[in-house]
Amino acid sequence: MNDNNNPDIVLEETKDGFEWIDLEGKRRKFSPAIRTMRLKLIDLQLSSAASYFDEKEDPFERTLVTTLRGNASIDDTAIEIVGDPDSRSNAISVSFVVTNEERREWAMRDSQEGIIRQTVLGYNKYDWEIGLDSEWFLQISLSVEQMNDLVSSVRDCSVSTVTVGVESPKLYVEEWYAPPAARINWFIRPEQGLVHGQVVSLDIRRTPIKLAPAEEITTYCDDEGGKPTHSLSLTSPDISVSIDRLSEKVGKLTKYVGWLAIFVLGIAVSLLR
């Protein structure tokens, strides 16, 4: 079945997805992914913009819309369009936008068919006439609360890592049975254009703060089951507590030495009589 824009790429539909015979004559099988595509943000930049086309609108009342733009890497091998090896890449340009009520309704319109349009994934081919570089792009819609949290952490430079998990029934893999730890290749059909999906995980981590120096953990195990019986503390005790304990021990030692001196003196006096 040839249902794409490239007449040289013939896809054969199957009950599990589709098949394609590559240029080397190898038959390759593609199935809808049953795992999550995870992206790790490399950088993020705040962007504010406004564009209006209504001449009657007061230009001084135009509000700037804040978005976040950056680059991310796929936590797998790469993504490509079937039959287009030049599209193979591990990098994706990512943008975060806030979801208003109109956009939320548009995103949920196809949810009954299993497609929530919270994310939009696509590929732009190189075009020298308009100065367009080849790139994969992903637009992510977030709620107001999620967007505010991410924006504030970028503004105060407290964010350290951001990872996003995306799923879509229009993303395909060859190793559909591979465990989550395995690095795989992702594919989209050549005729798809834009691939819609949803965010299944969003992890925003702040810069860690060092509160106390860590010590090496020493664990003692018994001879039978190898179960730990004792572990040292991860952190050192407070210095004021250590000084108090040392003072207490010195006080007890001084007391014992005093009683010992009186005892020795008593024995010496009795011998001299």
Place of tokens 């990098």: 91
Residue at 2 is within a domain: no
Model pLDDT, residue 32: 93
33 & 126 share domain? yes
Least confident of 3-17, 147-161, 171-185, 246-260: 246-260
Least confident of 96-110, 132-146, 218-232: 218-232
Residue at 202 is within a domain: yes
CA 273 to CA 269: how far, in whole Å?
Answer: 7
Selected residue with higher pLDDT from 19 and 236? 19
When the pLDDT of each residue in the chain is averaged and rounded to a whole number, the result is 80
pLDDT of residue 248 exceeding 70, the answer is no
Residue that terminates a domain, selected from 206, 230, 254: 206
69 & 154 share domain? yes
Residue at 4 is within a domain: no
145 & 95 share domain? yes
φ and ψ at 241, to 5 degrees?
A: -65, -40
CA 54 to CA 117: how far, in whole Å?
Answer: 28
Residue at 119 is within a domain: yes
CB-neighbour burial class of residue 202 (10 A; exposed 0-12, middle 13-18, buried 19+) = middle
Hey, which residues does 123 pair with through a beta bridge? 136
Domain that holds residue 39: 11-49+64-206
Reported as a single tens digit per residue, the pLDDT across 202-241 is 999 998 888 877 665 556 565 555 555 555 454 444 555 5
pLDDT of residue 1 exceeding 50, the answer is no
pLDDT of residue 253 exceeding 60, the answer is no
Strands 91-98 and 135-142 turn out to be parallel
30 & 70 share domain? yes
95 & 25 share domain? yes
Model pLDDT, residue 254: 58
38 & 85 share domain? yes
What type of residue is 28? R
30 & 159 share domain? yes
Residue at 58 is within a domain: no
Q: Estimate to the nearest angstrom the gap between the alpha carbon of 92 and the chain centroid.
A: 14
201 & 236 share domain? no
91 & 224 share domain? no
Beta strands in the chain (DSSP E): 11-14, 17-21, 27-32, 37-49, 65-74, 78-81, 84-89, 91-98, 119-124, 135-142, 159-167, 172-173, 185-188, 195-206, 219-221, 228-231
195 & 233 share domain? no
> For the residues 117-125, what does the mean pLDDT come to?
92
Burial pattern 153-164, b for ≥16 Cβ within 10 A else e, equals bbeeeebeebeb
CA atoms within 13 A on the CB side of 35: 18
- pLDDT-derived band at 138 (thresholds 50, 70, 90) equals very high
141 & 222 share domain? no
What type of residue is 89? S
Q: Do residues 87 and 134 touch, judged by C-beta distance below 8 A?
A: yes
Least confident of 8-12, 99-103, 161-165, 223-227: 223-227
Residue at 56 is within a domain: no
Region of 109 on the Ramachandran plot (φ > 0 left; ψ -120 to 50 alpha; else beta): alpha
Residue that terminates a domain, selected from 158, 188, 206: 206
Q: 3-state SS string over 138-178?
A: EEEEECHHHHHHHHHHHHCCCEEEEEEEEECCCCEECCCCC
Q: Do residues 122 and 137 touch, judged by C-beta distance below 8 A?
A: yes
Total count of domains within the chain: 2
Q: What is the pTM of this model?
A: 0.71
199 & 219 share domain? no
Q: Do residues 190 and 61 touch, judged by C-beta distance below 8 A?
A: no
Residue that terminates a domain, selected from 171, 206, 241: 206
Residue at 141 is within a domain: yes
Locate 257 and state its tokens.
């030495």
Which range of 145-154, 169-178, 254-263 scores highest in mean pLDDT? It is 145-154
